[in-house]
Amino acid sequence: MTPPSKVKVLIVEDSPVVQQLLAHIVGEDPRLEVAGVASSGEEALRMVERARPDVVSLDIRLPGIDGFEVTKRLMRQHPVPIVVVAADVNDLDIPMRALQAGALAVVEKPVGLGRADYQAVARHLCTQLHGMSQVKVIRQRTERLAVRPRVPPAPCAAAPARPPGGRYTALGLVASTGGPPALVKVLSGLPRAFPLPIFLVQHIGAPFVAGFAQWLETVCPFPVELGRTGTRPLSGRVYVAPGDVHMTVEHGAIRLTGDPPVCSQRPSGDVLFSSLASAYGVGAVGVLLTGMGEDGARGLLDMRRAGSYTIAEHASTAVIHSMPGTAVRLGAAVEELPLPQVAPRLVALASQQMEGV
């Protein structure tokens, strides 16, 4: 049997020491191989055309044109999956600007063999490089990642009955790769008077979660905060699952746990959705957006079985359709909607409550 081809990685990094470290990490992974090393943005643009890598490991702080501009130009001229490798995890601006420019993921940069978590950071980098290499990106003509248009199906007709009194009481959102721009699209489409608390799981490196929550508050109409054990959720507020813990809702309050990862994720969308099914039942709404893997699909199925209203993003707009697609195959989704139709559906579901505000 012919062994699978290795994923070709172009490393873009200006520090010679870090170049060697990243090349060592990539070379040690049997799934990956180094296609080349570029020391500047200009060199990276030239090498992508020549080396044809499957994925790019990109530093943001580069001499000449920076990584944001490199990302934008590559997505316009030579589309390729890009994983940003960031050294300063406290710079709240880097992850979101990179994802808006067209990068698929942002990971922490391994800084040295002596750090206690070096092996974990290195493994995560390789996993992201391999996983993102499978994403089929196409030429970007706008400021967001382009996807191939497809005709959306008709909404599922087997909708559950309205909850008692016609009132929904909680909304759960789960997303992974491609999630931040999708979440902005959904949340910015909701009115300030939206009457449900919003619980959110976004797969992103734990060091970046606090920055993600702060950024999200600047681009959506709601207050945003990290979930904390004991917090009693309020309507019109977004609660983001912190890094490396699961977030659940039990007895009317948020609870964080260090239970083992589910679907290799912590926080897990499955855990959040299943808790919403138990806590709110027919009063809950669950939305599973773009992402790689299967996290969230079985939790969404728990919600549907509990009578909740469940929505999966359609393949025509999902950067990666694996998570919502799994939910659809399991029969977990009441509706499968393109991204622009998600917020209007949520507004329609909550309209009775808003009319009384």
Residue 110 is predicted with a pLDDT of: 86
Q: Is 39 a catalytic residue?
A: no
The DSSP result for 86-106, as a single string, is: ES-TT-THHHHHHHHHT-SEE
How many angstroms separate the Cα of 351 from the Cα of each of 149, 237, 280, 357? Answer: 30, 17, 18, 10
**What domains does the chain contain, in order, with CATH numbers?**
7-132 (3.40.50.2300), 164-355 (3.40.50.180)
Q: Of 29, 54, 59, 295, which one is the catalytic site residue? A: 295
Tens-place pLDDT, residues 40-61: 999 999 999 899 999 999 998 8
Residue 202 is predicted with a pLDDT of: 96
In this structure, what token pair is assigned to residue 214? 């702060």
Q: Is 321 a catalytic residue?
A: no
What is the Cα–Cα distance from 134 to 8, expressed in whole angstroms? Answer: 11
What is the Cα–Cα distance from 348 to 345, expressed in whole angstroms? Answer: 5
- Answer whether 96's CB lies under 8 Å from 143's CB: no
Residue 176 is predicted with a pLDDT of: 93
Whose CA is closest to 22, among 105, 98, 118? 118
Section 137-165 average pLDDT: 49
Q: How wide is the angle at C-alpha 232 spanned by C-alphas 249 and 268, nearest 5°?
A: 30
In this structure, what token pair is assigned to residue 85? 């490798």
What is the Cα–Cα distance from 271 to 260, expressed in whole angstroms? Answer: 11
Q: Of 57, 176, 268, 274, which one is the catalytic site residue? A: 176
Q: Is 246 a catalytic residue?
A: no
- Give the residue with greater pLDDT, 107 vs 114: 107
Residue 155 is predicted with a pLDDT of: 47
| Burial of residue 291 (number of CB atoms within 10 Å: 0-12, 13-18, 19+) | buried
Residue 356 is predicted with a pLDDT of: 46
Record the pTM: 0.84
The CB-side HSE value for 214 (13 A sphere, CA atoms) comes to 11
Q: Of 54, 130, 203, 274, which one is the catalytic site residue? A: 203
What is the Cα–Cα distance from 158 to 195, expressed in whole angstroms? Answer: 25
Q: State whether residue 293 is helix, strand or coil.
A: coil
Q: How wide is the angle at C-alpha 25 spanned by C-alphas 19 and 30, nearest 5°?
A: 135
| Burial of residue 192 (number of CB atoms within 10 Å: 0-12, 13-18, 19+) | exposed
What is the Cα–Cα distance from 308 to 313, expressed in whole angstroms? Answer: 16
Tens-place pLDDT, residues 200-243: 999 988 888 988 898 899 989 999 999 999 999 999 999 999 99
Q: In whole numbers, what is the pLDDT of the chain averaged over residues?
A: 88
